């Protein structure tokens, strides 16, 4: 009995990979709180419910737990160079081999955190393309440089501008999308809270988009703005 308890506690102890830490840092920009379910999937949703993100990680979490302030939790982990996490029902103990440091971090009530309640079923896709890492970096940098809040994909051309200002600065680049449809899909730049890298992007005229990272097991569903149009 004692031996089986010891084995269980050892199974609950783990290290988080740098990739998982990067995912958690990214998810903290979408929502400050997080409910992690037992298993190797992590999902989050923005407070406005217009961004949903899901990642497959290498760790196998032993049980459900909720973090109310993800930035605080990540800052707490940064107190350790190579933290070991031992999960309990209501808290996690963080230690580091070769040191006397120890942290007891209490989990939150799952009822007070925002989390996706079900899997998203993507409707039929109308436009697909690959968004390279360079283009993603370029377009987000351009939005910051010229100070505009909106991004649009118009007939294969990606642009950032201010849709409410006819004389707003605008930057655009061609994505080489082959389509006979006439469309203009609008996004809020602030909703592009995605990790760096290249993405396979699917856009539906039902005003939802799906971004799948080509290098990391993470994907995002981002709502389009209501002004978006699509005509065949």
Distance (Å, whole) CA 32 – CA 37: 17
| Residue 227 tokens, joined | 């002004």
Per-residue confidence at 9, pLDDT binned at 50, 70, 90? very low
pLDDT of residue 12: 65
103 class by beta-carbon count within 10 Å (0-12 exposed, 13-18 middle, 19+ buried): middle
DSSP label at 114?
-
CA 138 to chain centre: 20
Rounded to 5°, the CA angle 86-89-91 comes to 60
Q: Do domains 2-112 and 127-231 have the same CATH topology?
A: yes
pLDDT at residue 10 tops 60: no
State the pLDDT at residue 78: 96
In this predicted model, what pLDDT tens digit does every residue of 98-134 receive, in sequence order?
999 999 999 999 999 988 988 889 999 999 999 999 9
Residue 178 pLDDT: 86
Q: Where are the domains of the chain?
A: 2-112, 127-231
pLDDT tens, residue by residue, 31-70: 999 999 999 999 999 999 999 999 999 999 999 999 999 9
Q: Give the confidence band of 232 by pLDDT, cuts at 50, 70, 90.
A: confident
Residue 216: per-residue pLDDT: 95
Predicted confidence (pLDDT) at residue 7 exceeds the cutoff of 50: no
CATH class, 127-231 region: alpha beta
DSSP per-residue letters across 81-100: SS-EEEE-SSEEEEE-TTS-
Average pLDDT in the chain = 93
**Matching CATH number, 2-112, of 1.10.10.10, 3.30.428.10, 3.70.10.10, 3.30.390.50:** 3.70.10.10
């Amino acid at each position: 009995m004692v031996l089986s308890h010891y084995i269980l506690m050892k199974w609950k102890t783990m290290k988080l990979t740098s990739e998982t830490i990067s995912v958690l840092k990214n998810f903290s920009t979408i929502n400050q709180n997080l409910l992690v379910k037992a298993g190797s999937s992590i999902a989050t949703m923005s407070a406005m419910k217009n961004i949903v993100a899901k990642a497959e990680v290498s760790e196998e979490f032993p049980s459900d737990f909720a973090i109310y302030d993800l930035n605080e939790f990540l800052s707490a982990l940064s107190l350790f160079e190579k933290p070991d996490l031992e999960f309990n029902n209501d808290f996690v103990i963080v230690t580091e081999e070769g040191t006397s440091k120890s942290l007891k971090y209490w989990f939150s009530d799952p009822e007070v955190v925002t989390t996706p309640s079900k899997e998203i079923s993507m409707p039929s896709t109308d436009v697909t393309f690959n968004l390279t890492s360079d283009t993603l970096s370029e377009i987000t940098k351009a939005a910051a440089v010229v100070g505009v809040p909106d991004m649009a994909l118009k007939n294969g051309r990606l642009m950032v501008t201010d849709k409410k200002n006819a004389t707003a600065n605008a930057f655009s680049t061609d994505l080489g999308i082959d389509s006979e449809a006439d469309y203009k899909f609008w996004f809020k730049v602030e909703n592009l809270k995605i990790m760096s890298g290249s993405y396979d992007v699917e856009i539906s005229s039902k005003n939802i988009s799906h971004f799948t990272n080509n290098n990391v097991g993470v994907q995002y569903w981002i709502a389009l703005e209501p002004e978006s149009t699509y005509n065949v």
